[in-house]
Amino acid sequence: MYPRKKKESPMADSPKKHGSLALQVSGLTKKYGNVTAVNAISFQVKKEEIFGFLGPNGAGKTTTVRILTGVIKADGGKAVVLGGSAGSLKAKQKAGVVPEMTNAYLDISGWDNLMLMAEIYGVPKRQAYKKAEELFKKIELYPQKGQKVRTYSKGMKQRLILAMSLISDPEILFLDEPTSGLDVKSARLIRGFIKELSSQGKTVFLTTHQMEEANQLCDRIAIIDQGNIVAIDPPEKLRAEIKEMHSVEVSFDRKVKTESLYQLPQVSTVERVGDKFRLYTSSPGEAIVSLVNYTSRENVGIISLNTLTPSLEDAFLALTER
Amino acid sequence: MDSFSTLVQQAQRSLVIARKNIRIYYSKGPVVIFGILFPVFLFLAFAVGRDFSIQFMLPGLLGMVLFFTSTAISPAVAPWETQARTLERLISSPLTASTIILGDILASFAFGFLISLIPLGAGLALSLQIHTPAALFGGLILAGFCFSSLGLMFSAAPATMPSTIMMLSSMIKFPVVFISGIFIPLKQLPGWGKIISYISPLTYFTDIARHCIQNEGYLSLGVDFLALFAFTGLFLILALKLHQKTMPERI
Ligand SMILES: Nc1ncnc2c1ncn2[C@@H]1O[C@H](COP(=O)(O)OP(=O)(O)OP(=O)(O)O)[C@@H](O)[C@H]1O
Ligand SMILES: [Mg+2]
């Protein structure tokens, strides 16, 4: 009953088992008073996938994770985790969890925290020892394993917490903003580890509000805003969305009508920003050529010209503001 | 997995939780020392200057030590875990809410029971004679569970501040001591006093202890055990039900 390294399946001749689902969520809803934290969301996550849940503060990410990990109950809808309903002992036994705001026990050592988790998940002692040794090396805390957690830095604590979620060798991992507030080094270590886990066949459900992180790690990204899923796409698709958002910012030495800029080839949208115009385009180079042609034709002088590259954040904001 | 092996597995994990609590919350010098000194001093404050025999005093002292130690730490564990942000991880692990609460009760029981052995040992050292030791032993165990469950009932209020819970539980704990036949034996109480004392589970343990140490109880041992048993069941069920409801609200 204790999860093995490879999931058992009589017909699993290839490690990638297409079509088998780790998570099935339909119509999941949670209300707090008159705030709908999660509004009838539905999605599915395939086994061995890294699924990103990306959204701004208050979007409903943590609420969703808490329902999926059995910490709170949904008001409606259904969630199945590896064949068991969310919150059931069966589902919990197969999952590893890094809650958003969580701590290890500060008054005992990192090692003892890991052993406690092993006992709670019913991991046999010998196996737990071996796994803990391996994990402490992996999270680069091996020399500090016997120290009280109170003496750890924030980054060390977060790495320990990740290790605690892995001691039972879970099939699925729920990580709620595992790198938020960490320095580059700790964040990179954790991200690298997540990638590695996925390549070992684990399913990862990851929430983040960092577009870049989702992009780097995830096979698919769901964008959630105000309790609703706005889009579920692979990162490439989101990048394509961003491509549409390059812009050229220009100011002229005399009055120019917005409509005439609209008619330029390659320009999709025009926006006035103070005394400047912002022309949105998917190919800034061509847009500039047509802009220069226009100005020489109309005898207008250009005072300033800038190209603006959209950040991932812009794309994200555009998607969530829609 | 069938339901029986699930039950066994959850029972084992309750013990894991109990050990964790003892290690993290109970086995601190000040906690242990305060656990024994507080009830002893409180007791002496009432007993000093009065002409009480040791046979009369020990049952009351024992009851008070057991009652105060079993309810000392347990009400604060859930608020502590909430505040320290360790609770969400426990709830998300393969434990039912009842498993966690039973673990808390077991830890509280072990603490209360072990500390009560100190005054009992002192009594034995003074060569007090114990009639029906089995009854005293059984009474200590049953009452330990009873008071521990009561302690857990206190902690079900979804308050995050340990101090709030401690204050609430003290407001109930202190009056209980005065209506449980500790300072004034049951038989000397007026009728209305007896009726009030019957609503306190501590009354029945004190009576068992008087049977076994003084060789004179007021109620029969059977009634004492039955009442303690009923209170234990009631507190246990209430503690489990209340926590099932309030645990998610703490997060
Ligand atoms: N226990 C609670 N009581 C009342 N409202 C809550 C509670 N938990 C969450 N909410 C509300 O539900 C909404 C979603 O919150 P949630 O914590 O799921 O957001 P999030 O996406 O995780 O945000 P963040 O990026 O800040 O962690 C918010 O409006 C929040 O105020
Ligand atoms: Mg959150």
Report CB contact under 8 Å: A99, B94.
no
Contacts of B15 in chain A (CB under 8 A): none
Would you say B100 and B17 are in contact if contact means Cβ atoms under 8 Å apart? yes
Residue pLDDT, tens place only, A267-319: 888 888 888 998 888 888 888 998 999 999 988 999 999 888 766 566 667 77
Residue of minimum CA distance from atom 3 in ligand 1: A32
Report CB contact under 8 Å: B251, A107.
no
Q: Average pLDDT, whole number, for chain B? A: 88
**Ligand 1 touching residue A65 (CB < 6 A):** no
Q: Of B160, B189, B182, B193, whose CA–CA distance to B76 is shortest?
A: B160
Ligand 2 centroid, distance to A100 Cα (angstroms): 6
Q: Which CATH number fits domain A18-239: 3.40.50.300, 3.40.50.720, 3.40.50.620, 1.20.1250.20?
A: 3.40.50.300
Which residues on neighbouring strands pair with residue B200, listed in sequence order?
Answer: none
A266 vs A100, which has greater pLDDT?
Answer: A100
Q: Is residue B30 within 8 angstroms of chain A, CB to CB?
A: no
For B201, the token pair is 């589970």
Residue pLDDT, tens place only, A239-280: 777 677 788 899 999 888 888 888 888 888 888 888 899 888
Q: Is residue B1 within 8 angstroms of chain A, CB to CB?
A: yes
pLDDT confidence of residue B183: 81
B11 vs B49, which has greater pLDDT?
Answer: B11
| Ranges of each domain in chain A | 18-239, 243-313
User: Which amino acid type is present at position A28?
Assistant: L
Residue A173 has pLDDT above 80, yes or no: yes
Residue pLDDT, tens place only, A193-226: 999 999 999 999 999 988 888 888 999 999 998 9
Residue pLDDT, tens place only, B25-50: 988 777 778 778 888 888 888 777 77
Residue pLDDT, tens place only, A237-246: 877 776 777 8
Ligand 1 centroid, distance to A64 Cα (angstroms): 10
Cα-trace Rg, chain B? 18
Contacts of B89 in chain A (CB under 8 A): 97, 99, 102, 164
Contacts of A69 in chain B (CB under 8 A): 92
| Ranges of each domain in chain B | 2-44+52-250
Report the complex ipTM: 0.89
Whole-Å CA distances, B34 to A71, A156, A295, B31, B75: 35, 35, 86, 5, 16
C-alpha B48/C-alpha B52 separation (Å) is 9
Does the domain at residues A243-313 carry the CATH identifier 3.40.50.300? no
Report CB contact under 8 Å: A119, B13.
yes
Which residues on neighbouring strands pair with residue A31, listed in sequence order?
Answer: A36
C-alpha A66/C-alpha A61 separation (Å) is 9
Report CB contact under 8 Å: A107, B248.
no
**Ligand 1 touching residue A58 (CB < 6 A):** yes
**Ligand 1 touching residue A276 (CB < 6 A):** no
pLDDT confidence of residue A12: 39
Q: Average pLDDT, whole number, for chain A? A: 88
Identical fold, A18-239 and A243-313: no
